[in-house]
Amino acid sequence: MSRFDTYRNAYPNARLSRSPSGVLEVALHTDGGKLVFNGHTHEQFVDLFHDIGADPDNRVVILTGTGEAFMDEISPEGFDFFTPRGYDKIYREGKKVLMNLLDIEVPLIAALNGPVLLHSEYALLADIVLATPETVFQDKPHFDFGIAPGDGVNLLWPEVIGSVRGRYFLLTRQRLDAQTAKEWGAVNEVVPADHLLARAHEIAEGLAKLPPLTSRYTRIALTQKLRRIIDEGVGYGLALEGISAAEVARSMNQTA
């Protein structure tokens, strides 16, 4: 039994398939449709990305969504933002999931099949970002819940599109369309939705032809700065997010 067989069906919110050349497609979903992000997927994706990164037979990874969105809906189910132990779990998972994404030491392609309204940091840690005309970016849920956006978007958006643009994007909950995101450097290509995965696989199969150590070490070389940014800043950002969540909890208790 190959290593892939041990985890390919282990994650209820990720559909995994791999080509003979080692191109792994990871489609996030909920019950076969659009992903609804919650506390359970928050925990699950830590192990998912770890298993992907630990499998030497993965040569290129394509991360995509299912249905009409990459990630645009969140549920509070499984989250506990408002107790110390509950937030400690979120804090630990929030740090680990991003480092596990960076520990996928082969080229990573994000194929964004629709809106990305939360956890856009997943896409910004990819080496190549493909979008459809329907793709829009926004950091919606943090301010909706009254908490600071400290889980990596605070670090990566200013890095990718520029400090002033990135801060404006987060503070105003700006909706950034795919073409503007391309012009600003957050997207590489905008392709029709019915060609998105074909284009992702076309690029991936080309990369899979590189010598294994060449593609692996190129990914490592290209992400060293991102690794430093995440390692230095995400723990602090998550701590600030937790303080703001504690204030929300206090306000809720006062009005109850």
Catalytic residues: 121
Instruction: Return left, alpha or beta for 65; rule: phi > 0 is left, psi -120 to 50 is alpha, else beta.
Output: beta
Q: Which residue has the tokens 């670090």?
A: 155
- The CA-based angle 39-60-46, given to 5 degrees, is 20
CB-CB contact of 7 with 51 (8 Å): yes
Would you call 58 helix, strand, or coil by DSSP? coil
Minimal CA–CA distance to 236: which of 42, 118, 91?
Answer: 91
How far, in Å, CA of 114 to CA of 116, rounded?
Answer: 7
Residues with Cβ within 8 Å of 23's Cβ and at least 6 positions away in sequence, in order, are 59, 60, 61, 62, 201, 204, 205, 208
